[in-house]
Chain A
Amino acid sequence: MKFRRWTVLVCVITMLSMFVIGISGISAASDKMKVGFIYSSPVGDMGWAYEHNRGRLHLVEKLPYVETVYVENVPESSDAERVLTQLAEAGCKVIFACSFGYMDFVHAVATRYPDVIFMHNTGFKTAENVGIYFGRIYQARYLTGMIAGEMTESDLIGYVAAMPIPEVVRGINAFALGVRSVNPKAKVKVVWTNTWYDPAREKDAAKSLIEAGCDIIAQHQNSPAAQQAAGEAGVYGIGYNTDMRQFAPDAVLTNPVWNWGPFYVDCVEAVRNGTWKSPYDYWGGVEDAVVDVGPYGPMVPEDIKELVIKKKSEIAQGEFRVFEGPIKDNKGVERVAPGQVMTDQELLSFDWFVEGVEGTLN
């Protein structure tokens, strides 16, 4: 009997307290400018979201008037629209949506909050208050490809790739062109995982490439799992997004890396100063340092590093363009005539592999 009365009491108290808490509400008053971020993987992914988050921290450090909030691991489904709405409701003046799959949801929410600037990462659709931003990571991939081409002994390089979309295809092609600029015999073998972030799948894909005879593993994935697989198998690897050497110190030669911080500062300042104008479309390259080639492992010889540094400055100066003809596709058909340079529009809808890539695009 006593037991029963006790439980009823506890329940009543709990429900009452929940009710009181519910009506008391919370208030957070601040005169800082709020900036929101939404990531599709956890900020601890040590890759894509990690780098965007580093950019966010840089923003907070550089602009004292900015206050940021972020929501991580948000699926590219119905959740995205709610989280974007909540960020707008929470008073964010600028919201950075850091994954392609948020596109429709960004545009849906943007029409309801015309005073909020939405910045969609990797997208292609702009609107009155929706801008897009991305970096020419393919330039960095070309440079890392040169290193892979010099370092491979089996002349077979594996590439763990997320999804057969232009962004990834462009990266693979740039990498392969870089490889073959120094080693015309080498081939790049591609395996799709169809996911941005799934360490187990990424690792399995890397293992299958190593078994197929690849002695360097490059990747377009959010986690360092492929590099760990390379480290365990005793082959080299080329990371992505961030410096991945800590996860496989003996394997990682270098990484094409992101450096979003300065861009975030510029963009938020533009919004604050009223200089942000639609259509806003940012696609910076090595000249802006938004993309770069990351720290080198100790096994990369000095002369190769010098080669890469020289090529990087040529790209930055506009003296060298990655996708300048002649370029053949992997069936031997000439796609870009000598002297011709692929337009941004063509790069944004890349749907064929260059010569030297082994893989299929459905």
Chain B
Amino acid sequence: MLGTTVTRGKEKAAQGRTWKIRVEKRLEAPAWWNAVVPMISITLALLFGAIFLKMTGYSPIKVYTIMFKDTFGTRYGITETLVKASPLLLSAVGVSIAFRMQLWNIGAEGQIYVGALAASWVALTFTDLPAYIMIPAMMIAAAFAGGLWAFLGSAPRAIWGVNEIITTLMLNYIAIFCVEYFVYGPWRDPLSFLFPLSPVFPKSAWLPCFGNTRIHLGLVFGIVAALAVGLLLSRTKWGYEIRVIGENPDAARYSGMSISRNIILVMLLSGAISGIAGMCEVSGIIHRLQAQVSAGYGYTAIIVAWLAKLHPIGIIIVSFLFGGLLVAGYSVQIYGIPADIATMLQGSLLFFVLGVEALARYRIRIIRSSPEPAHHATPGVARKIT
């Protein structure tokens, strides 16, 4: 579509002048544009949702009120939104660093699972450790496992150029099967009537929570990770290399940067962060290992990272908003609104955010011109697509 120009002439008889609307690609978006575009998208999505709700017989005002109140409008709502945002934030930061290098790590879900598995191993094996050793040890184990899992996905890419989308995606299923093996097999709690649950972790392996909420340290880890990755990318030599490789691998290669080495390193870091997300879910929320660790956080994180345009501060904000959107999906049901409507709203939000984002790369110019050439420019005839 590059270089597309659509020119339409419309005669205004009274004034004898024509208006031309020209659509052209923006070279560079102005700063205010980046802030306005998401707001337009959200507005459009809400309007679209409102029409849909009205058509299906629900009051849009009521539905939006409930969604807002149960997510950002009450103390409990905000805390639960933060709980939901924590794993999203960590794994979105994890995938974003790989995406910066145009490395498509779709394996965050699997990295969450192996992270949870490794952390559970520490918690269930060394039950007597005090919390100040237990928690760091679980984190290290989770980061190591997540990193290893990402390494398995990225090494074939670095060595043979195997598509990492496939390898990382497939490793997700293997990770989930590994967790299933342990909860159905060796780690099954003898007191749980053979249900697929590990024993509950000792208290020292529970991530501390804030007050009486379920917000755990994982949120702090997420914010720290976002800021650290932001600094890494913008302020360090390695971050510069990552960005250059992402923008232009050939230029990077000519300037002597090792692409294979960076693929491995970036994926190790990416996987380690997602691994810690998995540890936070089992240690902060579930307090035991079970077959379902993540409610698809590893996949949602990809959406979060893209909506935030891979910007670390953006990821913090979008995780929070998306956490709210996911929470709202359940809470509207309590008021008799089917879950499908919430899912539809989530979908339309994505559609409009990405759609407006794409359109915003073009600008519309309205050109007034003299009547003479306009007589020849009738709609359809003057359309030129190159």
Contacts and interface: CB of A to CB of B under 8 A. Distances in A.
Nearest to B327: A82
Given A11-B43, A124-B193, A165-B195, A75 B292 contact: yes
A194 B291 contact: yes
A73 B341 CA distance: 13
A89 B285 CA distance: 20
B217 to A, nearest CB: 15
Interface in B161-218: 180-181, 184-185, 192-196, 200, 214
Contact of B184 (A76, A124, A164): A164
A281 interface: no
Contacts of B32: 4
Contacts of A85: 76
Interface residues of A, number: 50
B344 interface: no
Contacts of A165: 193-196
A207 to B, nearest CB: 19
A78 B65 contact: no
A7 interface: yes
A71 interface: yes
B306 interface: no
B68 A21 contact: yes
Contacts of A76: 290, 292
Contact of A24 (B42, B43, B65, B194): B65
A69 to B, nearest CB: 5
A362 interface: yes
Interface in B324-349: 327, 330-331, 333-336, 339
A154 interface: no
Contacts of A124: 192-193
A349 interface: yes
Contacts of A75: 292, 295
Interface in B40-80: 40, 42-43, 46, 61-62, 64-66, 68-70, 72-73, 76, 80
Nearest to A351: B194
Interface in A76-116: 76-79, 81-83, 85-87, 89-90, 100-101, 104
A194 B183 CA distance: 11
B76 A79 contact: no
A77 B286 contact: yes
A7 B68 CA distance: 23
B70 A86 contact: yes
Interface string A160-200: 00011110000000000000000000000000001000000
B83 A77 contact: no
B382 interface: no
B293 interface: yes
A77 B70 contact: no
A23 to B, nearest CB: 8
B320 to A, nearest CB: 15
Interface string B338-370: 010000000000000000000000001000000
Contacts of A89: 76
A81 B184 CA distance: 23
Interface in A9-33: 10-11, 14-15, 18, 21-22, 24-26, 28
B220 interface: no
A163 B364 CA distance: 58
A87 B40 CA distance: 34
Interface in B287-310: 287-288, 290-295
Contacts, number: 127
Given A14-B42, A21-B68, A8 B193 contact: no
Given A78-B84, A90-B334, A164-B184, A26 B193 contact: no
A36 B62 CA distance: 21
Contact of B196 (A69, A82, A90, A163): A163
Contacts of B335: 26, 28, 69
A166 B185 contact: no
A63 interface: no
Interface residues of B, number: 52
A25 B65 contact: yes
Contacts of B180: 194
B39 interface: yes
A125 to B, nearest CB: 9
A348 interface: yes
A83 B327 CA distance: 9
Nearest to B294: A77
B36 interface: yes
B196 to A, nearest CB: 6
Nearest to A13: B43
A78 B280 CA distance: 11
B109 interface: no
B334 A69 contact: yes
A300 interface: no
A87 B43 contact: no
A70 interface: yes
B241 interface: no
A132 to B, nearest CB: 12
Given A26-B66, A86-B70, A77 B293 contact: yes
Contacts of B327: 82
Contacts of B69: 22, 25-26
B65 A100 contact: no
Contact of A78 (B39, B68, B281): B281
Nearest to B39: A11
Question: What 5 A-B pairs have minimum CB-CB distances, sorted nearest first?
Answer: A75-B295, A71-B333, A78-B285, A11-B39, A14-B43
Given A77-B281, A166-B195, 8 more contacts: A3-B364, A7-B40, A22-B68, A28-B335, A42-B339, A78-B84, A100-B195, A166-B194
Interface of A: 3-4, 7-8, 10-11, 14-15, 18, 21-22, 24-26, 28, 36, 42, 69-79, 81-83, 85-87, 89-90, 100-101, 104, 124, 163-166, 194, 348-351, 362
Interface of B: 32, 36, 39-40, 42-43, 46, 61-62, 64-66, 68-70, 72-73, 76, 80, 83-84, 180-181, 184-185, 192-196, 200, 214, 281, 285-288, 290-295, 327, 330-331, 333-336, 339, 364
12 contacts: A14-B39, A18-B68, A22-B68, A72-B339, A77-B286, A78-B84, A78-B286, A100-B195, A101-B290, A164-B194, A362-B184, A362-B185
